[in-house]
């Protein structure tokens, strides 16, 4: 059984969250490699989050927010 495609609004929101991840990472002075090391992921994974290609898990969002020095609410806006 095939899964329903993700609604357009959800894809748009995923993109916005990725842009916020990138902005807060840069504001914290971190490279993608440094962020990846802090959250225990590969830098390619951070890139996929930032470009909206994949959605980070809740745990990864919490780790990203901590590494960037912002709250989870600020990160996901």
Under 8 Å between Cβ of 75 and 28: no
Residue closest to 20 by CA, chosen among 5, 39, 61: 61
The long-range contacts involving 70-73, CB below 8 angstroms and separated by at least 24 positions, are 70/24
Domain ranges of the chain: 12-76
25-56 pLDDT, tens digit each:
999 999 999 999 999 999 999 999 999 999 99
How far is Cα of residue 41 from the mean position of the Cα atoms in its chain?
A: 12
CATH of 12-76, one of 1.10.260.40, 1.10.10.1100, 1.10.3720.10, 3.40.50.2300: 1.10.260.40
**What is the arithmetic mean of pLDDT over 7-13?**
92
């Amino acid at each position: 059984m095939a899964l329903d495609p993700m609604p357009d609004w959800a894809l748009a929101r995923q993109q916005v969250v990725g842009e916020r991840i990138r902005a807060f990472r840069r504001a914290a002075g971190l490279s993608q490699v440094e962020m990846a090391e802090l959250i225990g992921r590969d830098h390619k994974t951070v890139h996929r989050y930032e470009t909206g290609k994949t959605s980070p898990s809740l745990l990864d969002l919490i780790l990203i927010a901590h590494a960037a020095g912002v709250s989870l609410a600020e990160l996901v806006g």
